[in-house]
Chain A
């Protein structure tokens, strides 16, 4: 009962913080509380949101994935390379983007499980490898001239941005998966105590492979969505995206040592970071100061949460 209460308290507290920040922004700026701006916030958080949901799985197994940003760039470039008008059906670049991400994730997973290399090191390596591959594949230049069918992925359906729909779909599926799939339970068990999970017959290696592979697949999706939005495959895109994603997950109450965390928490973490980014923009704070303020808020939020957890 205690964790239940604690989780509820945590999520309630986070929601409260988001509401307070939102209220403050509504009062202090005219622009915040408008359909146009809130839609904009949702659109802006969707890529970080998709990444955060993916990396939640990896963090739950007590791993980490630092290669998100680079893999976003690589998937975007790979997608854009096959997305020139009139060459292939729109499904080809889409699939290639997703599979590129999944392949990077699976490779991370194989090296972590079979190779026994620490996740930090493996994904640090993948971070520079994927960035390098993106630069090689694109010749260091943005891959432009993408078909309208693909860039339409950044458009709206009935007034709702498609990236937001993607994020919502991913979040709901992930939430359902962790709650109702046997593999979801296994992910918590592996992160909670890997040796005990193995002794209880949980296929630890397969579970981790799944987590890294899924994270990669979602990173590929984020790469495709980003490429569609900026209408090019940018080899330099996605710098430091992994940090925003991991920050959102941790703010959402997921433990870096694994075994504890929820998708709802991640969702709230993503929203908080999104609202703060938007608010600082609206208030005209310089981006240099924004970086400092964001860092303080991330550390502060987690510190407050852990202090609450101890008492």
Chain B
């Protein structure tokens, strides 16, 4: 267990041979194990179900399940019949009726996850590492997985299970270890713990002090979204954001939060509904349109939609507002490096030089640079999609302070976050999404985690 960014996935990936440890070692059956690749770990008997699904979309379900250990007949030809029946048996164990001859690309996310689980089961491993295996599963599928886990346990297979879901932990676990900010906080038998003790271990005591106090906001509505729809991701989404206000979009993974803010920023325009910004109804078809009217966004997908990896930190920061550092079509290098220097100090971006490629920085510093990029565009509405995902607690605190400071300066902020303490402490209001629809709009000062969760959970 542990919060987002506590280091759970990284630790699992070290065990599975995807990452090499900086120090220390893994002991496996009493000897030092030095896994250089996932293949080494698999051969030794360690399989992993990854949090990010990694299917090969144009192969069949059976080919994906047996990938890398295909049953072969003579001359190394793949035995198709055996491949299909193996896949069928593994899926049957998970009580799933997915046809093993279907193409991976035709499956839903939940079905893809079931296939990934079947794939790990098929390796006949002695330890199976499961990183949030139920994130996309329905209740029946979760129940089937749990029965499978119980069977595996009786067969002597050990499971390392990572999740955010309290009830799962107490239903499954014999022992619970808690990570916080990359360190082991403690390990205890599940019988000696209860949810509130566990949360105390996960959160620690210092977190309350991390959040600065909220400021009041004005009544001037900056953004008004009405009936925003794009099936099947979300429908009829309506909310407002005022000047100086922080509005959080809460909800479970897949509830449509990122899709809604992507529509407002023009990354993936909605098919219906209205976006009214500063009193004008707009059609925002690209990020360029959004930036032109004063809407900025820091994406959740840092690697895919944020960083230009080979450009320097400084050049990454000025990319959006490059026109402000130009004279006509020419760059004003002096003005640019001055702005970069001052922003790097202001945001405490740690880099050896402004020309250091941004791909070499830590996640927190990358995130601060991208925030600086967004703010250099001087937007009136700032969309922050999971702004603290995967960054350390120090950088988190700096980003929290910055959000409050921006709200105080009269910016409107739309925050998407999966971390409830963050949502509750930073936001004035919380708009909860459940399966693509708004299920509640709550006043953050008079609500609590349980209420938000109740509205976020599928009924």
Which residues in A have some Cβ–Cβ distance to B below 8 Å? 1-4, 180-186, 188-189, 192-193, 195-203, 259-260
Q: Contacts A185-B322, A193-B307, A195-B305; is A201 near B353 (CB within 8 Å)?
A: no
Q: Does B360 contact A (CB under 8 A)?
A: yes
Q: Contacts A1-B352, A182-B322; is A197 near B308 (CB within 8 Å)?
A: yes
Q: Does B330 contact A (CB under 8 A)?
A: yes
Shortest CB-to-CB span from A151 to chain B, Å, is: 36
Q: Contacts A196-B305, A200-B319; is A182 near B329 (CB within 8 Å)?
A: yes
Are B355 and A1 within 8 A (Cβ)?
A: yes
Given the complex of chains A and B, what is the CA–CA distance between A198 and B306 in angstroms? 10
Given the complex of chains A and B, what is the CA–CA distance between A172 and B200 in angstroms? 64
Question: Which residues in window 286-332 of B have CB below 8 A to A?
Answer: 286-288, 291, 297, 299, 304-312, 315, 319-320, 322-323, 326, 329-331
Starting from the known contacts A199-B306, A200-B320, 9 additional A-B residue pairs (CB-CB under 8 Å) come to A2-B357, A182-B322, A188-B308, A189-B308, A189-B311, A192-B311, A196-B305, A199-B299, A200-B308
Are B357 and A188 within 8 A (Cβ)?
A: no
A to B CB contacts below 8 Å, 17 in the list: A1-B355, A4-B355, A180-B330, A180-B331, A181-B330, A182-B322, A182-B326, A185-B315, A185-B331, A186-B322, A192-B308, A199-B267, A199-B299, A200-B308, A201-B377, A202-B319, A259-B310
Q: Contacts A181-B329, A195-B304, A196-B308; is A3 near B355 (CB within 8 Å)?
A: yes
Q: Number of B residues contacting the other chain (C-beta, 8 Å)?
A: 35
Chain B residues whose CB sits within 8 angstroms of the CB of A186 once the complex forms: 322
Are B307 and A196 within 8 A (Cβ)?
A: yes
Shortest CB-to-CB span from B43 to chain A, Å, is: 26
Shortest CB-to-CB span from B231 to chain A, Å, is: 24
Question: Which residues in window 342-383 of B have CB below 8 A to A?
Answer: 352-353, 355-357, 360, 373, 377
Q: Contacts A182-B326, A185-B331, A189-B319; is A196 near B304 (CB within 8 Å)?
A: yes
Are A2 and B329 within 8 A (Cβ)?
A: no
Closest A residue by C-beta to B322:
A182
Chain A residues whose CB sits within 8 angstroms of the CB of B265 once the complex forms: 199
Given the complex of chains A and B, what is the CA–CA distance between A201 and B324 in angstroms? 13
Given the complex of chains A and B, what is the CA–CA distance between A195 and B309 in angstroms? 12
Are A203 and B329 within 8 A (Cβ)?
A: no
Given the complex of chains A and B, what is the CA–CA distance between A193 and B319 in angstroms? 12
Closest A residue by C-beta to B321:
A201
Are A199 and B310 within 8 A (Cβ)?
A: no
Chain B residues whose CB sits within 8 angstroms of the CB of A180 once the complex forms: 330-331, 333
Given the complex of chains A and B, what is the CA–CA distance between A184 and B326 in angstroms? 12
Q: Contacts A182-B329, A196-B305; is A260 near B310 (CB within 8 Å)?
A: yes
Shortest CB-to-CB span from B288 to chain A, Å, is: 5
Pick the residue among A2, A188, A259, A260 that contacts B356 (CB under 8 A): A2
Closest A residue by C-beta to B353:
A1
Are B360 and A196 within 8 A (Cβ)?
A: no
Given the complex of chains A and B, what is the CA–CA distance between A184 and B308 in angstroms? 14
- What are the 10 A-B residue pairs with the smallest beta carbon separation, nearest first? A192-B308, A201-B291, A200-B319, A199-B305, A200-B320, A259-B310, A193-B308, A201-B288, A189-B308, A182-B326
Q: Contacts A196-B306, A199-B267; is A181 near B373 (CB within 8 Å)?
A: no
Given the complex of chains A and B, what is the CA–CA distance between A182 and B329 in angstroms? 6
Chain A residues whose CB sits within 8 angstroms of the CB of B267 once the complex forms: 199
Are A197 and B286 within 8 A (Cβ)?
A: no
Given the complex of chains A and B, what is the CA–CA distance between A197 and B297 in angstroms? 13
Chain A residues whose CB sits within 8 angstroms of the CB of B311 once the complex forms: 188-189, 192, 259
Chain B residues whose CB sits within 8 angstroms of the CB of A201 once the complex forms: 287-288, 291, 319-320, 377
Shortest CB-to-CB span from A271 to chain B, Å, is: 25
Given the complex of chains A and B, what is the CA–CA distance between A180 and B288 in angstroms? 22
Are B331 and A181 within 8 A (Cβ)?
A: yes
Name, among A197, A200, A201, the residue most crowded by chain B CB atoms within 10 Å (CB to CB).
A200
Q: Contacts A3-B310, A196-B306, A201-B288; is A183 near B360 (CB within 8 Å)?
A: no
Given the complex of chains A and B, what is the CA–CA distance between A183 and B326 in angstroms? 11
Name, among A180, A201, A260, the residue most crowded by chain B CB atoms within 10 Å (CB to CB).
A201
Closest A residue by C-beta to B289:
A201
Chain B residues whose CB sits within 8 angstroms of the CB of A185 once the complex forms: 315, 319, 322, 331
Closest B residue by C-beta to A257:
B310
Q: Contacts A3-B357, A185-B315, A198-B286; is A192 near B310 (CB within 8 Å)?
A: yes
Chain B residues whose CB sits within 8 angstroms of the CB of A193 once the complex forms: 304, 307-309
Given the complex of chains A and B, what is the CA–CA distance between A259 and B307 in angstroms? 12
Given the complex of chains A and B, what is the CA–CA distance between A199 and B306 in angstroms? 7
Are A200 and B287 within 8 A (Cβ)?
A: yes
Given the complex of chains A and B, what is the CA–CA distance between A186 and B265 in angstroms? 20
Chain A residues whose CB sits within 8 angstroms of the CB of B297 once the complex forms: 199
Chain A residues whose CB sits within 8 angstroms of the CB of B329 once the complex forms: 181-183
Chain B residues whose CB sits within 8 angstroms of the CB of A199 once the complex forms: 265, 267, 287, 297, 299, 305-306
Given the complex of chains A and B, what is the CA–CA distance between A186 and B316 in angstroms? 11
